[in-house]
Structure 1
Amino acid sequence: MMQRTGTAATFRRVAALTTAVLAAPALSAGCGTGDGGSDPGASAPADPKATLLAAVPDEKDPAFRFSTVEGADKLTGVVDPGAHALELGMSEKIDDPEFTMNITFRLIDEDIWMRVKLTGAAGLHDVLKLPKRWMALDRTKLDDVSEIPVYDGADPANTAAIIRTAETVEDKGNGTYTGFADLADNVDVRNSFSGFDVATLGEAAKKVPFTAVVGPDGNLTTLTLDIPAVGKQKAMKLVTRYYDFGKAPKLTAPSGDQVQKAPASAYELLKD
């Protein structure tokens, strides 16, 4: 689950294009405590839904880590609300030729950098003409800027919008909350998912079970959606984790020999 639709799809497209390039005949031979949670010194809201929403990260929280899992897609990263910054990455193993691709984006306000790490075979970076350092991207040179991640607040998985669709939330004790989310409720919620199309669920999309856990520090730690099997859509769990509040590194712009301008080959990878 990501606020910006197409994020996971962007990673998959880059990996697929890289595979195609490497398979070309000419190349294959050569190759702490968050402030956004509930205040332990204040009276907790009586409504479980309000309590759960109060635990969702906001702009007052320190930097923290997150991960999202949608079927085979897993994104990991860091959110630094104070810097309006986001870092997210994805790893994918490719079979033919056999290698592993790690792609990381770092965003601070409107600035964006990308880093690609290719392992498993010698010379991959040279073949693809991709540096190992951070590459500063120029948004005006991107083929479709809507497919590139943006910093869109301290709740990258859009958990608050999803929780708000629940008519009621039940407090099960020990920081665990359950309810039913309406994934078809509005465009914002429907666009929170890149691993599947909400429309394929039909009426089932209006009552999707979820379980949320709030940690001792008052911060939301997990939100799990149990997507039912409908037609060709297999049952799956969508899991968001928020953790390491105040322990994750603050995000800053890469500098010095850590970064360079993105070459033309980087923009080619990001094309549709």
Structure 2
Amino acid sequence: MTQRFGSAGNLRRIAALATAVLATTVLSAGCGTGDASEGAGPAPSPSADPKAALLAAVPDEKDPAFRFSTVEGTEKFDGLVDPAARGVELTVSEKDPEFTMGMTFRVIEDDIWVRVKITGMPGLQEAMKLPKRWMLLDRTKLDDASEVPVYQNADPANTAAVIRTAETVEDRGNGTYGGFADLTANADIRENFSTVDVAALGEAAKKVPFTAVVGPDGNLTSLTLDVPAAGKTKAMKLVAKYYDFGKAPKLTAPTGSQVQKAPASAYEMLNG
């Protein structure tokens, strides 16, 4: 157990995965969580321009704070976006037979904090010299600048970029839309799908079915891509969900006894 931690087994893999999601805004694979049906009033009426209507539902800088949730394989991601604060928060967790480790990253403007919580094995967090408070990170002490989390926009799963690759979008009624995404459209799109072997998909990568749902409040609540099997990779669903618009708490910088500067042990964990 100690050797796997010392060699940055699960812990460093979780840290790298978390920072990569924040830095590149990946649309993750899985079933997603969260209530996508919140809101009052009737479903949106059919639009004369379904693609434009769907893009208009994607979160932007004018939206209130909201939550998002994705799953990639066995890794679950829960997050919160606060456009007004130019902030994002992401929580990931890893379960071991003997303990569970959770990491939460909070980014506001250029500042970044991380909080670690290890349960199931008393004394392990103390042995690793990892405080339980928020730790303010110095970006210059993080080795890989490309993996340093930043706030990019109010669409953490990059759903708008996926929708834009569709030639046409069909309004199926009751707030549901459908179309075909082109995962080969540009380099940014291809890089967003680390779990998908775009090359192995061949021509099928240019026409991947997607379904999107817009809630009664006019906000995008889910986007699902049905990726076919390719090579050794089984068919999968790529899903992103947005919810709790206006109900999620606003993000603020930790203060007082809630925070401290990150110790050397935190950088050792993140840098491996």
TM-score (norm. length: structure 1): 0.82
User: Residue in 1 aligned with 2:156?
Assistant: 156
Output the CA distance in 2 between the equivalents of 1:194 and 1:114: 24
Output the CA distance in 1 between the equivalents of 2:12 and 2:74: 11
Note the C-alpha offset of 1:165: 0.3
Post-superposition Cα deviations, 1:40-66, rounded to whole Å, max 9, x if no partner, equal: 9xx985111111000000000000000
Aligned identity (percent) is: 75
Output the CA distance in 1 between the equivalents of 2:198 and 2:70: 17
Note the C-alpha offset of 1:203: 2.4
| 1:270 match: secondary structure | helix
Structure 2: give runs of 5+ residues left out of the alignment: 1-9, 17-41
Note the C-alpha offset of 1:253: 0.3
Report if aligned partners of 1:64, 1:245 keep a CA contact under 8 Å in 2.
Answer: yes
User: Residue in 1 aligned with 2:22?
Assistant: none
Structure 1: give runs of 5+ residues left out of the alignment: 1-9, 17-39
Note the C-alpha offset of 1:197: 4.2
Aligned length: 237
Report if aligned partners of 2:14, 2:92 keep a CA contact under 8 Å in 1.
Answer: no
User: Residue in 1 aligned with 2:94?
Assistant: 92
Note the C-alpha offset of 1:12: 6.0
Output the CA distance in 2 between the equivalents of 1:264 and 1:220: 41
Post-superposition Cα deviations, 1:1-48, rounded to whole Å, max 9, x if no partner, equal: xxxxxxxxx9761479xxxxxxxxxxxxxxxxxxxxxxx9xx985111
User: Residue in 2 aligned with 1:216?
Assistant: 216
What letter corresponds to residue 210 of structure 2 in structure 1? F
User: Residue in 1 aligned with 2:270?
Assistant: 270
Output the CA distance in 1 between the equivalents of 2:225 and 2:72: 10
Matches for 1:190-209 after TM superposition, within 5 Å: 190-209=190-209
| 2:225 match: secondary structure | strand
Note the C-alpha offset of 1:157: 0.3
TM-score (norm. length: structure 2): 0.82
Output the CA distance in 1 between the equivalents of 2:235 and 2:96: 25
Report if aligned partners of 1:71, 1:237 keep a CA contact under 8 Å in 2.
Answer: no
Output the CA distance in 2 between the equivalents of 1:186 and 1:261: 40
Question: Is the alpha carbon distance of 1:11 and 1:181 closer, same or farther for their aligned partners in structure 2, counting shifts above 3 Å?
Answer: farther
Output the CA distance in 2 between the equivalents of 1:198 and 1:124: 41
Output the CA distance in 1 between the equivalents of 2:14 and 2:212: 33
